[in-house]
Amino acid sequence: MIKSADDVIKAIDEGYKKEPKERARDYIGASGIGTQCDAYQAYSLRGFPNDVAEPKLKRIFKLGHILEDIVVKDIKEKADVRVWEVDGLTGRQHTYEQLGGHVVCHMDGHIETEDGILRVLEIKSMNDANFKKFMKDGVRVSHPKYFSQLQMMMAMSGFEESFFIAINKNTSEYHAQIVSQDEFEVAYIKKRIEDVIENKAKKLATDETDWRCRGCFKKSVCWHNAPVPVSCTTCQFAEANHQGGWTCTKTDSEAKKVCSSYTVYKPLKREQ
């Protein structure tokens, strides 16, 4: 029985904690490519489980999705700008894949402004401090992670420009920027992906106290040897191939079944 206001809050949080654990992605995604740790990319590619998000963080994610819908509606109905938030053929989010599905990007939409140019649409919600940084410096400086995401999406889809719009969660203010494709950033991203595919991924940090590891969803499997599903994709001797499958480097054949040589995958260590 709920006896106080605090009981209500606790009950809400408990409800979030009881939610089924989301299945971890098993590909390198555009939304995560801005994370500069290649070990994180490798764990994502192999489908290693994420740490469970706290209730507050889950609500932040949920609010972000709600705000994205509001932004799209405002662009279409208030600005009278054409937006395709879903693929007309599939009825789902615009998705692009490479390397047989090992590399995937999902877009918030396609947008066509008055200049007639079709662009990638990417929407983010930000707190006041981050929003002001974006307004002052532009996304490349204020949010390098988002800039990398935009570059990967453009490279995979063939678009030369993106329309990046942010909403201030404190004030509901909007700010937008048109971002062009940067061939050097794209080349850098491609090189990182190649290293991950070829099992050359390294940890970004030398120990878990590094500030960049604090909020990482792969922290438990990376630093604490958390249990992982036993499968070929989580094995040290499996290597992703360009057809979308996995090759066993022990037998030089398709990785189909876990064998006695199974060893949990570990990325290369960063030298001190």
Q: What domains are defined for the chain?
A: 19-227 (3.90.320.10), 229-266 (no CATH)
What six digits make up the tokens of 205?
A: 């940090």
SS (H, E, C) the chain: CCCCHHHHHHHHHHHHHCCCCCCCCCCEEHHHCCCCCHHHHHHHHCCCCCCCCCHHHHHHHHHHHHHHHHHHHHHHHCCCCEEECCCCCCCCCCEEEEHHHCEEEECCEEEECCCCCEEEEEEEEECHHHHHHHHHHCHHHHCHHHHHHHHHHHHHHCCCEEEEEEEECCCCCEEEEEEECCHHHHHHHHHHHHHHHCCCCECCCCCCCCHHHCCCCCHHHHHCCCCCCCCHHHECCEEECCCCCEEECCCCEECCCCCCCCCECCCECCCC
The span from the CA of 232 to the CA of 229, in Å, is 9
The span from the CA of 40 to the CA of 38, in Å, is 5
pLDDT digits 0-9 by tens, 57-116? 999 999 999 999 999 999 999 999 999 999 988 999 999 999 999 999 999 999 998 888
Is residue 255 a contact partner of residue 245, using CB atoms and an 8 Å limit? yes
Percent of the chain with pLDDT strictly greater than 90 = 89
What six digits make up the tokens of 272?
A: 């001190």
For the whole model, what pTM was predicted?
0.92
Given a cut of 80, whether residue 192 has pLDDT beyond it is yes
pLDDT at site 21: 85
pLDDT at site 204: 93
pLDDT digits 0-9 by tens, 22-68? 888 999 999 999 999 999 999 999 999 999 999 999 999 999 999 99
Is residue 203 a contact partner of residue 39, using CB atoms and an 8 Å limit? yes
The span from the CA of 120 to the CA of 143, in Å, is 17
